[in-house]
Structure formats: structure tokens, C-alpha cells
Amino acid sequence: MHPTAGLLLTFCLSLFASVNAGPYARRKAHSLQNGQDAIALNAKFESLTPTSPCTTDSEVACINDQLARCVRGHFDLIPCDVGLVCRASPKIDSPGMTIGCVKENRNTKRTPATRALHAIRQEDPSQTSLCLDPAVLSTGFENDGQGDTTNPPQVQSQTSSNNWINFCKTVNKPLTNGTQIPGGSCNPAPIGVIPSVDNIPSAKIIFPPNFETLAKNSTFTIKVAVNNLETGWATNSNTTFLSAPVVVNANGDVMGHSHVVAELLTGFGQTTPTNPKLFAFFKRLELPAVNGVLSTNVTGGLPAGHYRLAVIHSGANHQPIAAPVAQRGAMGDMVYFTVI
């Protein structure tokens, strides 16, 4: 080991030993739980209406962005001041949450809790350190996959003893660095949270149905039913592209968004692969689903021809969503339709 590397390793181990034994380690658990609880509570508030029943006069909620107090079995709504909306927000220094009016964009309904979770991560010294915390070191990455008698022979895996933290130094590619680079790049951000098998996203295209016939140059609406995906999360694709790990909500569903893309075919019998650089229609569905359905208009329709329409799911930072097991169903959907 190089002498400088040895000094850095000693410093890193000393750093993590000290911060994990301090007050932060005792505070971190309830801070994270507060943020997760706030996300879940705000999701519950979305199902409430002014006529929803309540049981005790001490109950407080948020309904239609307004503060709601229980009075004799029903909610009385109290409007927030201009520029404020009612949300549940997690406390940082003690267990619990606060419910009240906060400054927030109405189109991003759960940001108080997620902002708090971000603050918690920034407060953790390990999240700003340039050292790898031994608590997240994956020793399984040192296994090349050979010698496993339960599987047939497989291609030998690359290995790493430091979680691949400097992998991008081994390839002659620019860093992705939050931008879209058509010529290819190397992205150092980790994959992030992988949902459970019960939270794998899925989709079904409602319209157009398979082998539907549409009139050329006529506006139509694409409709997609989605499951196990908290939609409405899409960051700036010009400056934050692939720049953060995938995260999930309190229910374990990925927080992200979907896309739809239509490609022109030579016919339904086409056997040659399509060119991913060429497509007739592409749309990012960044708004939350309504009753589990995403939709977008294809204004002006499409020229005559045969088309393939596909659904692509992404995390908030436009990254692919990984699954917890290799054998599973497809997350997206695909239909074929004709325009005449």
C-alpha cells in the first residue's frame, strides 16, 4: 500500500469511529424516521376531504393545502397565508413531526419531508466525507462469481475492494457530472435504493390498445396505468442527469417518473432492430398520476404508418430503476398501432 493511502485509510477509520460514537449517531435514527413518517403522513392527507370523519378534537391534518382541525366529528378548514401550504414536516433534533403552514411550491407536495431527509444526510459527516465508511463496504464485490456450483458457468465478474469509488479513473470517458453527454460518459453516482419484489414498478398502456387504428395527424391521448411507482418526481435533466441515487418513499415505492416513446416501423413484420436515436414522439410524464393513470396528448397526431409505443420508468434523476431479483416481469409496457 502507498504510504499516502495508508495515512488516508487511518484517518478515515478514525473519523468514522469518532462520529459513530458521538451524539450524531444517537440522533440519526429518529431524524431519519421522522422524515419517513412525514412522507407517509402527507400521503395519507392526500386521501382526506373536507367531509372526512375525525374522532378527537385534538386531531390536526392538512386537507386541500389548508390546515384542518377536528371539531365535533368533522374537519374545519383554516386557509394558510398567501404563498404557504399545509404539510407535515419532520423535526430534526427530536422525535416527532409538526403539522402546519409552510412555504412550498404547490406542484411539489411532499418536499418538506424530502428536504428534511436531505438535510439529515448533509448533517451526517459521512455524507460529505471523501472517505468510504466501512459500514457500507460491500465485501461481496470482491467475488468474481466463479466456483458457484448452484449456477452453470458464468462470465467472470470484475471485482473491487473499495465499492468501486474510483472506477471512472479506469476508463477513458468524461464524467457524466449531471449532464447528458451523447458521446458517452462515466457516472460515479451509486445505483441507490433497490425496491423489494413487492414494490417492483409495472405498467400497462390503456390507450392506444394493441393494434389500434388511428387517423393520421389527429390529436389523441396516451394513457398508462402504473403501479408501485410514486410518480411526479423529475429533476432538471440538463444539470442533474444521473447525479443522485434512486430513493423510495415510506411504502418502499421508487420516487420517479415515466416516459412514453413512439417509434415508426416499416411494418409489424419488421425484424431489424430499431434505431434508438430516431423516434416519432417522446414525452416525459413528470406530473403525478391521477388515480394511478398517467396521460399525455399527442398534439397533431402522427403521420400515417406503423408504430411501436413503449413505456420507460426512471428514478427522479432520470436513472434506470434496478430490480431486487434477476427473474421478474418487465417494468414497462409496449403496444403496436397503425395510423392511416
* Amino acid 124: pLDDT: 66
* Amino acid 315: pLDDT: 95
- Average pLDDT, integer, range 275-303: 95
| Residue that wins the pLDDT comparison between 201 and 232 | 201
In sequence order, which residues have a C-beta less than 8 Å from that of residue 88 and are 6 or more positions away? 37, 38, 41, 42, 45, 62, 97, 98, 99, 112, 113
Confidence band for 96, pLDDT divided at 50, 70 and 90:
confident
* Amino acid 131: pLDDT: 82
- Average pLDDT, integer, range 257-263: 97
pLDDT surpassing 60 at residue 220: yes
| Residue that wins the pLDDT comparison between 95 and 25 | 95
* Amino acid 109: pLDDT: 47
Cell 417509434 locates to 263
**Nearest-CA neighbor of 115 among 84, 92, 94, 86?**
92
Which sequence spans correspond to the domains of the chain? 23-127, 197-339
Residue % of the chain over a pLDDT of 70: 83
pLDDT surpassing 70 at residue 171: yes
- Average pLDDT, integer, range 160-179: 95
Amino acid of residue 54? C
* Amino acid 106: pLDDT: 42
- Average pLDDT, integer, range 155-182: 94
Whole-angstrom distance, CA of residue 16 vs CA of residue 25: 10
* Amino acid 307: pLDDT: 98
pLDDT (tens digit, 9 = 90+) per residue, 240-259?
999 999 988 878 899 999 99
pLDDT (tens digit, 9 = 90+) per residue, 29-88?
566 677 777 877 887 888 888 888 888 877 899 999 899 999 888 899 989 888 788 888
pLDDT surpassing 90 at residue 139: yes
* Amino acid 319: pLDDT: 96
In sequence order, which residues have a C-beta less than 8 Å from that of residue 325 and are 6 or more positions away? 197
* Amino acid 25: pLDDT: 53
| Residue that wins the pLDDT comparison between 304 and 107 | 304
* 197-339: CATH number: 2.60.40.10
Among 18-27, 73-82, 297-306, 313-322, the range scoring the smallest mean pLDDT is 18-27
Strand partners, 77: 68
**Nearest-CA neighbor of 78 among 62, 55, 97?**
62
* Amino acid 1: pLDDT: 47
Confidence band for 27, pLDDT divided at 50, 70 and 90:
low
